[in-house]
Amino acid sequence: MPELPEAESIARSLDRALKKRKITKVEVFFPKLRTPLEPLKRAGLVGKSFLGCRRRARYAVADLDDGRMLTMHFGMSGVVRVEPESVPRRKHEHVFIHLSDGRVFRFEDPRRFGFLEVQKAGKDGWPECLAGIGVEPLSREFTGEFLFNASRGRKKPVKELVMDNAVVTGIGNIYAAETLFASGVSPLRRASDLTRTECDAIVRNAKRILREAIKCGGTTVSDYRNVDGSEGKFAQKLKIYGMKTCPKCAHATAKAVIGGRTSWFCPNCQS
Ligand SMILES: [Zn+2]
């Protein structure tokens, strides 16, 4: 599942690929992903140009010159490509947006949990559908003090807090596991038991790991690909996610299902 670094990589690639390109044709080959795709055909996109592409949470948001935004989420298996018209359509490429440079924006999603809609801007300049989501982990608002305050009175495990999009958005399963390992905090710990020092460490490590993952073009675990089809390189740098032994102490790792997602941790190094 594409997480924040992958969405950031996709948004940066799309920014280069879409900027100043005019839309010449829209084709929809399947009725719906998470929401219906037919409205894309009636959105009056032909003749509009892209101004660029940005990321918010795990969404890529491509700005149009009429103030609206093509908003996309990659679900479990969404892949975006921008390729020449001559490349044949792949089986699960559900939407084609033809561009004035002869290339085609293609949205592929075999499992169809993705999202692709034209949205109006809300008051904050982001799509209306993204209102009410939490702070960006790489922003100045995400501090140890912020996390400490957010954790007070919360009985759920710290892993669920770190992955709660209403608190901080875009830290998914892989990066939550890596962040808590680097911070020496067990994912099972009750959030309200975190100390301020531990919150500082979690925030510091989350930012460092996310930045490093962005530099690597994200993590390819199964389906994820960058816009150019390349794999993310961060998988080679994972320390705890999916590991059998701890890279620090060689103790066998432990697995637990927290909030419906499998978590790896070292029972020796994380408490
Ligand atoms: Zn260990």
CB 123 within 8 A of CB 130: no
CA of 160 relative to ligand 1 center, distance in Å: 21
Question: Among residues 18, 141, 145, which one has the least CA distance to residue 72?
Answer: 18
227 pLDDT exceeds 90?
no
Burial classification of residue 200, based on how many CB atoms lie within 10 Å of its CB (0-12 exposed, 13-18 middle, 19 or more buried): middle
CA of 129 relative to ligand 1 center, distance in Å: 41
Q: Is residue 271 part of a domain?
A: no
Least confident of 15-24, 27-36, 214-223, 241-250: 214-223
What distances in angstroms separate CA 43 from CA 17, 123, 189, 269, one per listed residue?
A: 21, 21, 47, 53
Q: Is 192 left (phi over 0), alpha (psi -120 to 50) or beta?
A: alpha
- Mean local confidence (pLDDT), 223-239: 71
Q: Is residue 164 part of a domain?
A: yes
Q: What is the pLDDT of residue 218?
A: 73
Q: Is residue 171 part of a domain?
A: yes
Q: Is residue 224 part of a domain?
A: yes
Question: In the chain, what percentage of residues exceed pLDDT 70?
Answer: 94
223 pLDDT exceeds 80?
no
Domain check: are 16 and 103 in the same one?
A: yes
Q: Which residue range is the domain that position 152 belongs to?
A: 144-265
Report the CATH number that the domain containing residue 213 is assigned in CATH.
1.10.8.50
- Outline where the chain has alpha helix (H): 4-18, 144-151, 158-162, 173-183, 196-215
Rg of the Cα atoms in the chain: 20
Domain check: are 238 and 161 in the same one?
A: yes
Domain check: are 110 and 173 in the same one?
A: no
Pairing of strands 23-28, 261-265: unpaired
Domain check: are 126 and 151 in the same one?
A: no
CA of 252 relative to ligand 1 center, distance in Å: 8
Q: Is residue 136 part of a domain?
A: no
CA of 220 relative to ligand 1 center, distance in Å: 24
Total tally of structural domains belonging to the chain:
2
Structure tokens at 12: 């940066």
Domain check: are 98 and 38 in the same one?
A: yes
pLDDT tier for residue 229 given thresholds of 50, 70 and 90: low
27 is catalytic: no
3 is catalytic: yes
Report the CATH number that the domain containing residue 35 is assigned in CATH.
3.20.190.10
The secondary structure element, H or E, covering residue 83 is: strand 79-84
Q: What is the pLDDT of residue 19?
A: 97
pLDDT digits (tens, 9 = 90+) for 130-151: 988 999 999 999 999 999 999 9
pLDDT digits (tens, 9 = 90+) for 173-212: 999 999 999 999 999 999 999 999 999 999 999 999 999 9
Task: Name the domain boundary from 76, 106, 130.
Answer: 130
Q: Is residue 137 part of a domain?
A: no
Q: What is the pLDDT of residue 219?
A: 67
Query: pTM above the 0.85 mark?
Result: no
Domain check: are 122 and 233 in the same one?
A: no
pLDDT digits (tens, 9 = 90+) for 51-82: 999 999 989 999 999 999 999 999 888 899 99
Domain check: are 261 and 180 in the same one?
A: yes
Q: What is the pLDDT of residue 107?
A: 96
